[in-house]
Amino acid sequence: MMKKVALNRRTGRLSQMTDTNLLLTITIVVFFAMYLAAMLFIGRGFLRVQTFLNILNENAALIILSCGMSLVMITGGIDISVGKLTALVCMSAAVNLDYNGGSILTSILIALGIGLAFGIVQGYLVAYLDIQPFIVTLGGMFFAKGMTTIVNATQFNVQNEAFVALKNTRIYLPVGSVNRLGKFVPAYVEIGVVVAIVTVIVLFILLRWTKLGRSLYAVGGNSQSANMLGINVRRTKFIAHLLCGLLAGIGGYVYFLHVGSGAPSHASGAEMNAIASSIIGGTMLTGGVGNIIGTFFGVLSLSTIKNIVALLGLDDAWWTNITVAAMICIFLVVQSAVLLRKKDRN
């Protein structure tokens, strides 16, 4: 009897967790397990702090894009334009800086403006004209892709001095490692990482503690009910897309800051990486379930696995893609199995 009660309580806690928290827990546990395993069995780079920070440096833009994607996915939508939008932002900012004599400020304004414009138009079409988000953002993706080459068809590196200085700015941290010569090398992050982390924190607060944040979940859970509960569903969806567009603008600029060039091929496939990160982070495409912290760890997990594959010497181009795909696959299967079992128990 006692045993049964105890058992009930344990399974009870799992089933009492909201879906969002359950999936978030899985993601975080998997990330740490994976990183720990890499430290133990691969060693080498994974023991250095800088390796971890480089993952952040490389993926600051992706973190921001994924956050925007998660917002839209929580409302039950999707935005597949963000990757090509990033390329457009990079190209426009680059042209502004080098050909049109712009400054850092104007290039930032251009980036934000482009993102906002996409967000507003796509949000309007999705929220107020009831067109499926997939189709709308598919159009947005095509448009951004074409516009990038219309702005400038070839790749070039930005020469603007102020920008190059900003790009090379490193923020040193009080931690680091000792190199072979016994000298202490401090670890650093790029500016983009700071932007990304601020974004994550702001969005986490937004989702958790503001009315708007909870409305996003409600709309994604059941938009009809949300309407009946007195939530302005259209406005909420509009804001989600608007924020996603704006974040794509910010993320695009962070990407630009990292690579320092404009090219039509920039950030190709970033939208799929963002979707994959969101999913690994426990956001569900059906809407209503998800978490920004999870998305953050989703990006980290995705890029850690890529690093592990590279360090294992499986350098052939196809291995990374296949491993990433396998990882998405495993996550999906685990998630659906957990949620299905939970549903059965209730």
Partner 1 sequence: MQKDSVLEMRGIYKSFYSVKALQDVDFTLREGEIHALMGENGAGKSTLIKVLTGVYEKDAGEVFLKGAEGAVHIKSPEDAQNAGISTVYQEITLCPNLTVAENMYIGRTKGFVTNWRQMNAGARKMLESLGIPARAEQQLGTCSIAVQQMVAIARAVDMECKVLILDEPTSSLDESEVAKLFRLMLDLKSRGVGIIFVTHFLDQVYEVCDRITVLRDGKLVGEYAIENLPRVELVSKMLGKELNDLSDIKSGDEEAHIGSEVIYEAEGLSSSAARHPFDFSIHKGEVNGFTGLLGSGRSECVRAIFGADKVTGGKVRVNGKDVRISKPRDAMKHRIGYLPEDRKRDGIVGDLSVRDNIILALQVLDGFFHPISRAKAEKAADEYIKLLEIKTASSDTPIKSLSGGNQQKVILARWLLTDPQYLILDEPTRGIDIGTKIEIQKLVLQLAEKGKSVTFISSEIDEMLRTCSRLVVMRDGKTVGELRGADLTQNKIMSTIAGGGK
Partner 2 sequence: MTAETLKKTGSAGWMGLFRNQIFIPIAALLVLVIFNLIADPSFFQISYSLNSNGDPVLSGYLITILDNASELAILAIGMTLVTAASGGQDISVGATIAIAGSVVLRVLCGDNPRPDEMQASILTAFLVCCVVSMLFGAFNGALVAFLNIQPMIATLILYTAGRSIAAWINNNRLPIISDPSFGYFGTFLPGVPIPTPIFIALICMVIIALTLKFTTLGLYTQAVGINPNSAKLNGINPQMIKFITYVIMGLCVAVAGFIKVTRFSTINYSVVALDIEMDAILAVALGGNALSGGRFSMASSILGAYVIQFLTTTLFKFNVSSSALPAYKAVVVIALVVLSAPAVRAKMGKLWRSLQASKLKKEAA
Q: Tell me which of 227, 261, 268, 323 binds partner 1, using CB under 8 A.
A: 227
136 near partner 2, rule: CB under 8 A: yes
Nearer to partner 1, 121 or 285 (CB): 285
Residue 139 interacting partner from partner 2, partner 1, none (CB closer than 5 to 8 Å by kind): partner 2
CB of 295 vs partner 1, minimal distance in Å: 17
Q: Which amino acid is at 164?
A: V
Tell the residue number behind the tokens 């190209």, with chain if given: 91
With vertex at residue 20, the alpha carbon angle to CA 15 and CA 21, rounded to the nearest 5 degrees, is 65
CA distance 78 to 286: 10
CA distance 45 to 49: 9
Helix (H) or strand (E) holding 58: helix 49-74
132 near partner 1, rule: CB under 8 A: no
CA 244 → CA 70, 78, 209, distances in Å? 9, 10, 19
CA 316 → CA 12, 39, 247, 303, 313, distances in Å? 46, 23, 33, 17, 8
The residue range among 59-67, 159-167, 210-218, 280-288 that interacts with partner 2, by the rule CB under 8 A, is 280-288
Which positions from 298 to 327 touch partner 2 by CB under 8 A, shown as an x/- string?
A: ------------------xxxxxxx-xxx-
CB atoms within 10 A of CB 180: 5
238 near partner 1, rule: CB under 8 A: no
239 near partner 2, rule: CB under 8 A: no
The residue range among 90-98, 103-111, 215-223, 300-308 that interacts with partner 1, by the rule CB under 8 A, is 215-223
Tell me whether residue 212 is exposed, middle or buried, using C-beta atoms within 10 angstroms of its C-beta: 0 to 12, 13 to 18, 19 or more.
middle
Selection from 27, 114, 122, 144 nearest residue 78 by Cα: 122
The residue range among 36-44, 167-175, 248-256, 278-286 that interacts with partner 2, by the rule CB under 8 A, is 278-286
225 near partner 1, rule: CB under 8 A: yes
Residue 18 interacting partner from partner 1, partner 2, none (CB closer than 5 to 8 Å by kind): partner 1
Chain positions contacting partner 2, by CB under 8 A: 78, 125, 128-132, 134-136, 138-143, 145-147, 149-150, 153, 264, 272, 275-276, 279, 284-286, 316-322, 324-326, 328-329, 332-333, 336-337, 340
